[in-house]
Amino acid sequence: MTIQPGTISSTIRQNVRQIELFSNLSDDEIDILMKHAKIRSLVEDEALFHQGDNGDFFAIIIDGRIEITKHTEMETPVSLASLTCGDTLGEMALIDQEARSASATAIEPSSVFVLSRKSFDMLVDQYPRCGTKLLRKLAIILCNHLRKTSGRFAESIEPSLLT
């Protein structure tokens, strides 16, 4: 479902503003963003994307829960995270245009706000101020993900292996 420009109420705008990535956008910038967004509904156990898929969009969870899993070389799925309302996923695809590094599957009925890479690139090109704000927030989100991952990795290393 595409969000129609005339249907953007102040409540929707306020809800979008609660999402970290969009928290510093003006009402006009949110309206521009929403014109290019889609809402996708997922049923339990439905995949939003699979590891290895072309990364051509990113998503923000509106409601529900989505599990992020990565298959190891032995094809064993490892759960990396369980994401909920306001969490973002697929951000790396907007930056590096690489294949998906993990899979995302709804673990309960869920709705996500989806923005394609094409729409994101158009926003950055046609609305540079809005694009700069989005890219800055996206960089912060990716930095936070990296910090958490580094922390988990450090905690998982056997202390005896470090000496």
Strand order in the sheet with 110-116: 38-42, 110-116, 57-63, 88-89
Q: Which of 55, 64, 69 is nearest to 103 (CA)?
A: 69
Q: What is the pLDDT along the chain (163 residues), one digit of tens a residue?
A: 444 444 455 666 677 778 888 888 888 888 888 888 888 999 999 999 999 999 999 898 989 999 999 988 877 889 989 999 888 898 887 788 889 999 999 999 999 989 999 998 998 899 999 989 988 988 888 888 889 888 877 887 766 565 5
| pLDDT, position 109 | 97
Q: Tell me the domain boundaries of the chain.
A: 5-147
**Residue matched to tokens 């590094």:** 101
| pLDDT, position 142 | 84
| pLDDT, position 67 | 97
| pLDDT, position 163 | 57
Tokens at 148, concatenated: 């958490």
The CATH number corresponding to 5-147 among 1.20.120.790, 2.40.110.10, 2.60.120.10, 2.50.20.10 equals: 2.60.120.10
| pLDDT, position 159 | 64
- The CA-CA-CA angle for residues 122, 63, 109, to 5°, reads 110
**pTM of the predicted model as reported, rounded to 2 decimal places:** 0.78
| pLDDT, position 118 | 92
